[in-house]
Amino acid sequence: MNLDPFQHDRKNKLSPLTSTQPHDSLLRLQRDKYRQEVAELRTQLVKLQAQVDESECTIGDLRRLLAEAHNDAVIDLTAEKPITDSEAKREKPRHKRKNHKVEEIQIVKPDDSKPSPSSIKSNSIPIIHSKVTVVMDESSALPSAVSSPEIRIQSVKEIPSHKRSFDPENDLAVASPNTGGNEKRRKLEQMNPRASTSAHLPETASPVSSSLNTRPELDAVATTGSQFGEVQPTPPIDNILHQDDDPHLKIKIKDEAFTLPLSIISSYLKDCAPLAISSPETSSVPRRLISLAYGGNGQQLLQYIRAPLNPSGPKKRRMVFPMLNMNPAMPTRPGEPGLLFASRHEILYNAPWSLFCRSMVGKEPRWRYLGEFNSVLCGKMTTEQFRAQKQAVKDNWGKLILKSLRYDVYVSMLARIALKKYGLVDEPNENALEIAEMAAIRSKTGRHVTVQDITGAFSRGDEAIDILRMECVSYDHVFAADIATRLRGYDKLLAGAQTASRGKGGRGGQKPNKAARERSFSVSKMRGDLMLLSSDSELTDYDYDSED
C-alpha cells in the first residue's frame, strides 16, 4: 500500500511535461525537413549557375568558330589566282607622257601554297608582292591600269624585326629560330598573339579565344615541340604559376599545398578569359592597413567593409584574402582567372568579391588588390587526385577538419565520417543522426575520429574537396587608388592606432587592475591563435567576419 499522499499530485504535475515530448519530436523532424529542403535549393542554384556558365562558354565557342570560318574564306578568296613565273617576267609598261600622275599600291599576300625547293634558298622566306600601277591622265577621266606582279625572294636578315631582350626571371623558355615558315604556326599567331611571344603575361591581361589556354604557363607548355625549335625544360609548378613583374615580390609555394596537374587546371580555365584592365594599381599594402583604414579583422579569410567606410559608394564591400602558398592556381594578377580549393561556399553568393593576393616584400607580407571576382563551383577533387598529394598535405587537411569545430561544413564532415566508421549510417534517418552527432561533437562528447579516418574518407571518395573557379568581372579603380593613398599615410595611421591602444589601458594614465590585465592577455592570446591558424595551419579556409 502506498502511504505517500502527494504521489498522485506529483504525477499530475509531471504529466503536462511528458505530453510535450512528442510535440518536440515533431518540431525537430519538421526542422530537419526544412533544412534538407534548403540544402536541395542551394544545390539546384549551383547547378543552374553552372548551366548558365556552360551556355555562355558555348556561345563564345560558336563565335570563335564563325570568326575562324570567315578568316578561312578570306584567305581562300585571296589565293584563288596564283601568280606564275611567266606573269612575273612580263615587262613593265613604260609611259612616255610627262603629264601623268603615277601612284603605286603594293599588296602583300600571304603565301598559302608551299614553295618548291628550287624557288627559294636556305634561310629565306618567299614574299609575293603584287604591284598595281595606276596611270592618271590630267585630261582624261578614265584611268588606265596595268597589273604587274613580281616575285622577290627576301632573306630573313632583311626582314625588320623588333628585338626583345631575354629576361631570365620571367621568360620560361627560349626557342631557336625556325626558318621553315610553318603555316600552322603563323595561323596560331594570328588567332593568339601571345603564342609568338614569351610566356610572361603582361600587367594588363588581354582576352583570348576560349578554346586557347588562358594561363601563360599553359601556353609555354603547349608550344613545346620540335617544329617550334628546341625549348628548354619546363620549370617547376611554383615557378611557372607565379612570376611577378616586381622583383621585390617573392612568392613561395609550400610543400603542404594542394596541387593539380597543369592539364586539369587548363581544363577548368579554358572557358574563362582574362579581363583586360587599363592601368591597374601596382601597390601592395600590409593587411593591417586595410583593417585600420576600413575596419574588420585582419586575420581572417573573409573581411567586410561597411557601407559608410567604402570609398566607392555607400554599399557593403566583401573581400577575400586566400593564402597563395596554399592555393597555387589562384589568380595572381589583375583580371586573371584562377582556382581555389575550398570547403566553405560563402564567396559563391553575394557576388562580386574583392580579391587580394598575398606576396612577400622582403620579410613583410603584402596584399595586392586584383579586382572584383565572381566564383562558381566547377568541380571536386577526385580520389586519384587526393591520393596523389603528399602525405603531409593529406595529414594537414585532416588536422584542419579535426580542429575547425566552429563551422558547420567541417562538423558535418566529422559527423558523417564518425557515423560511417562505427556502422551507424541509416539512410531513412541519416539526416537526424548527422544532426545529433554534430551536437555531440560540439559538446566534445562525439565519437572518436582520428586524422587517418579523415584522410581515409577522402581517399575512398566518401568526402571531397570542392574546386571553385574565380573570374574577374570588373576592377574598382576608385578603391584601388584609395588603398594607394592610404599607403602613403600608413605610418601616421599606425601611430594613431598605437596611441589609441595605449590610451585604453586605464583612466588618467593609471595602470589597469589585475582582472583587466588578465582579460587583455586572454584576448591577445586568442588573436594570436587566430593569426597562427590563418597563416600556418589551415590549407584553404580561415575564420571570417560576420556580415551582421
Share of the chain above pLDDT 70, in %: 54
Query: Highest mean pLDDT: which of 88-92, 321-325, 335-339, 535-539?
Result: 335-339
Q: Is the pLDDT of residue 516 over 60?
A: no
Q: Which residues contact 355 (CB under 8 A, 6 or more apart)?
A: 319, 320, 322, 331, 369, 370, 371, 372, 373, 470, 472
- Residue among 320, 315, 284 nearest 302 (CA): 320
Phi, psi of 343 (to 5 degrees): -110, -30
pLDDT of residue 4: 57
* Phi, psi dihedrals of residue 166, rounded to the nearest 5°: -85, 130
Tell me the three state secondary structure of residue 396.
Answer: helix
* Residue 432: its H or E element: helix 430-442
3-class SS shares of the chain: helix, strand, coil, % to 5 = 45, 15, 40
Query: For residue 282, is pLDDT > 70?
Result: yes
Residue 116 has pLDDT above 60, yes or no: no
Instruction: Give the pLDDT mean for 273-287.
Output: 92
Long-range pairs for 289-293 at CB < 8 Å and ≥24 separation? Answer: 289/483, 289/486, 289/487, 289/490, 289/493, 289/494, 290/319, 290/356, 290/367, 290/483, 292/493, 292/494, 292/497, 293/483, 293/486, 293/493
Cell numbers linked to 108: 602583300
Strands 302-305 and 124-137: unpaired
> Does the pLDDT at position 479 exceed 90?
yes
Distance between CA atoms of residues 235 and 312, nearest Å: 41
- Most confidently predicted of 157-166, 403-412, 492-501, 518-527: 403-412
The pLDDT score that the predictor gives to residue 387 is 93
Predicted local confidence at residue 439, as pLDDT = 93
DSSP state letter for 544 = B
Q: What is the pLDDT at residue 146? A: 46
Can you list the alpha helix ranges (DSSP code H) found in 181-245?
Answer: 183-191, 216-222, 237-241
Where are the chain's structural domains? 27-79, 99-157, 183-380, 383-464
Provide the pLDDT confidence category of residue 123 given band limits of 50, 70 and 90: very low
- Top mean pLDDT of 16-20, 67-71, 215-219, 379-383 is at 379-383
The answer to whether residue 78 scores a pLDDT higher than 60 is yes
- CB neighbourhood size of 542 (10 A): 21
pLDDT of 464 > 70? The answer is: yes
In the predicted model, is pLDDT for residue 347 greater than 80? yes
pLDDT beyond 60 at 231: no
Q: Which of 149, 153, 152, 151 is nearest to 92 (CA)?
A: 149
pLDDT band at 441 (very low <50, low <70, confident <90, very high): very high
Asked whether the predicted pLDDT for residue 240 surpasses 70, the reply is no
pLDDT at residue 300 greater than cutoff 80: yes
208 — pLDDT class (breaks 50, 70, 90) = very low
Pairing of strands 353-361, 317-320: parallel
What's the rounded Cα separation, in Å, for the pair 314 and 517?
A: 38
What Å distances lie between residue 7 and 2, 12, 13, 20, CA to CA? 9, 9, 10, 21
Label residue 105 by pLDDT band (50, 70, 90): very low
| DSSP at 127 | E
Amino acid, single-letter form, for residue 475? Y
Is the pLDDT at 389 greater than 70? The verdict is yes
Per mean pLDDT, which of 171-175, 405-409, 514-518 is the most reliable?
A: 405-409
Least trusted range by pLDDT, from 4-18, 149-163, 285-299: 149-163
Q: Residue 199 in 3-state DSSP?
A: coil
Average pLDDT, the chain: 69
Q: Coil, strand, or helix at residue 197?
A: coil
107: helix, coil or strand?
strand
Q: Which band of pLDDT confidence, cut at 50, 70 and 90, is reported for residue 90?
A: low
User: Is residue 215 over pLDDT 50?
Assistant: no
CA distance 338 to 334: 11
pLDDT, position 113: 47
Distance CA 394, CA 103 (A): 74
**Given a cut of 90, is residue 238 above it in pLDDT?**
no
Q: Of 55-64, 326-335, 339-348, 538-547, where does mean pLDDT reach its minimum?
A: 538-547
pLDDT at 211: 35
Give the pLDDT of residue 378: 93
Is the previous residue joined to 352 through a cis bond, with omega within 30 degrees of 0? yes
Q: Is the pLDDT of residue 407 over 60?
A: yes
**Which of these ranges, 65-79, 163-177, 428-442, has the smallest mean pLDDT?**
163-177
Handedness of CA 133, 137, 141, 142 (dihedral sign): negative
- β-pairing, 284-285 with 364-380? antiparallel
End-to-end CA distance of the chain: 63
- The pLDDT value recorded for residue 7 is 55
Confidence bin at 126 (pLDDT 50/70/90): very low
Q: Enter the DSSP assignment of 148.
A: E
User: What is the pLDDT confidence band of residue 8, given thresholds at 50, 70 and 90?
Assistant: low
Q: Is the pLDDT of residue 403 over 50?
A: yes
